[in-house]
Amino acid sequence: MPASATSSTSTPGAREHPRPRLGVSSCLLGASVRYNGGHSRDRFLTGLLSGHVDWIPVCPEMEIGLGAPRPAMRLRTDGHIVTKDETADHTAAMSDLADHRIDDLGDLDGYVLKARSPSCGLFNLPRYASGRPGERTDGQPVDRTGRGVFAARIRAALPDLPIEEDGRLNDPVLREHFVERVFAHARLRVFFASDWRPRDLVAFHSRHKMQLLAHTPEGYRETGRIAARAGDRPRADLEDDYRRAFAAALAVRAGRGRHTNALQHLLGFIGDGLDPTRRHDILTAIDSYRRGRAPLSVPIALLRHHAEGEHLRYVADQTYLDPFPDDLVLRHHL
Ligand code: SF4
């Protein structure tokens, strides 16, 4: 892997992480491309996260030839994107652009979209009447179930890709989950791009077992079944199946109960080699996390420390203990 394709942290024992490739609405990185000539620069994206990822910025409205500033637009219930005064309909141009861009964006590991945009918004956009019988005529939204035209095409074409909106990433749980999925996606992308052998997939899967278990036991078992048959099947089929099952498992949000289960499994792997005082410390930390009295980062740090100290490679190598660069400090808030 070229040096520029990875990032690492200063924490002793921390693994080297791949640099995920993330699509992003350009205005979130500070480009002055919004309809009003402004931007929506996001502090987390342009600050902490920028040091660890490669951005692929896209402003769909600029790329279809609209300048900034430009007339504001909105969505209609028939799926069209039009100027507020209904004098221009940009639906066809936007759809064509999305189809073209999906082909040339390359292998992405995630996408961050600008909320509330009729082009980029992913959730709950206001939809306005398109003249259908029974629709309100007072100029107010008919409902708030819309999805931006560009965002909808991206979501449909790349169903397994982690995609989020900027606003939702202010929630610590959603932020950690998105970033975890992005880095896992990047690890799998880099792995499948290598000259891998069936035993390598088994090893890759083995390192991800506790991470998968923390999300969904069913997904943990399903990915395990696929990896176990790695030598029996055409490589392309195997990659497709594992990629889909891996993404689906990690898309399930890990709650406190499942995190606790994964932590207890890891403690079990550390085994009897641990002296009673240290075991008690870890058990106490896991229980404090389970009760909501300590963040996830506390038992994780203890388990990692002891796994490294005791040279317990199976435990120390688990991606669950180190799923993304430490300096993103995402697990201090879970
Ligand atoms: S929300 Fe999307 S279309 Fe609007 S300015 Fe940002 S990148 Fe461009």
Vertex 57: Cα angle to 51 and 59 (nearest 5): 150
Q: Ligand 1 atom closest to Cα of 34?
A: 5
Is 248 a domain residue?
A: yes
Is 17 a domain residue?
A: no
**The tokens of 115 are what?**
């909320």
Is 11 a domain residue?
A: no
- In this structure, the strands spanning 6-7 and 17-18 are antiparallel
Q: Are residues 152 and 231 in the same domain?
A: no
Is 188 a domain residue?
A: yes
Q: Are residues 200 and 327 in the same domain?
A: yes
- The residues that bridge with 109 in the sheet, in sequence order, are none
pLDDT value for 14: 62
Q: Are residues 104 and 192 in the same domain?
A: no
Q: By three-state DSSP, how is residue 112 classified?
A: strand
Evaluate whether 147 touches 59 at the Cβ level (below 8 Å): no
Domain assignment of residue 277, given as a range:
171-334
Q: Are residues 26 and 123 in the same domain?
A: yes
Vertex 247: Cα angle to 246 and 248 (nearest 5): 95
How many whole angstroms separate alpha carbon 70 and alpha carbon 32?
A: 12
Q: Of the candidates 170, 197, 228, which is a domain's last residue?
A: 170
Q: Which long-range contacts (CB under 8 A, 24 or more apart) does 253-257 make?
A: 253/173, 253/177, 253/215, 254/177, 254/214, 254/215, 256/289, 256/290, 256/292, 257/290
Specify the amino acid at residue 20: P
Specify the amino acid at residue 175: R
Specify the amino acid at residue 53: V
Mean residue pLDDT of the chain comes to: 93
Pocket probe mutation, ligand 1, options 55, 58, 61, max atoms within 8 Å of Cβ = 61
Evaluate whether 222 touches 153 at the Cβ level (below 8 Å): no
CA of 115 to the centre of ligand 1 (A): 9
Please tell me the residue having the least CA distance from ligand 1 atom 8.
59
For 167-296, where are the alpha helices, taking DSSP H only? Answer: 172-193, 198-215, 217-228, 235-251, 256-270, 276-290
Q: Ligand 1 atom closest to Cα of 35?
A: 5
Q: Are residues 179 and 61 in the same domain?
A: no
With b for 16 or more beta-carbon neighbours within 10 A and e for fewer, the 129-151 pattern comes to beeeeeeeeeeebbeeebbbbbb
Q: Are residues 91 and 165 in the same domain?
A: yes
How many whole angstroms separate alpha carbon 81 and alpha carbon 142?
A: 15
Whole-number percent of the chain with pLDDT over 70: 96
Q: Where does ligand 1 bind, in terms of residues with CB under 6 Å?
A: 25-27, 33-34, 59-61, 114, 117, 119-120
Is 307 a domain residue?
A: yes
pLDDT digits (tens, 9 = 90+) for 222-280: 999 999 998 888 999 999 999 999 999 999 999 999 999 999 999 999 877 788 898 99
**The tokens of 38 are what?**
């402004």
How many whole angstroms separate alpha carbon 139 and alpha carbon 320?
A: 50
Please tell me the residue having the least CA distance from ligand 1 atom 6.
27
Pocket probe mutation, ligand 1, options 35, 62, 114, 153, max atoms within 8 Å of Cβ = 114
pLDDT digits (tens, 9 = 90+) for 284-293: 999 999 999 9
How many whole angstroms separate alpha carbon 135 and alpha carbon 150?
A: 25
Q: Are residues 161 and 304 in the same domain?
A: no
pLDDT digits (tens, 9 = 90+) for 58-103: 999 999 999 999 999 999 999 999 999 999 999 999 999 999 999 8
Q: Ligand 1 atom closest to Cα of 40?
A: 6
| DSSP one-letter code for 81 | E
pLDDT digits (tens, 9 = 90+) for 152-181: 999 999 999 999 999 999 999 999 999 999
Specify the amino acid at residue 102: I
Q: Are residues 176 and 103 in the same domain?
A: no
Evaluate whether 251 touches 243 at the Cβ level (below 8 Å): no
Is 1 a domain residue?
A: no
Q: Are residues 133 and 190 in the same domain?
A: no
Q: Are residues 244 and 281 in the same domain?
A: yes
pLDDT value for 8: 46
Q: Are residues 264 and 162 in the same domain?
A: no
- Provide the number of structural domains found in the chain: 2
Question: Using omega within 30 degrees of 0 as the cis cutoff, is the peptide bond preceding 118 cis?
Answer: no
* Backbone phi, psi, residue 169, to 5°: -75, -5
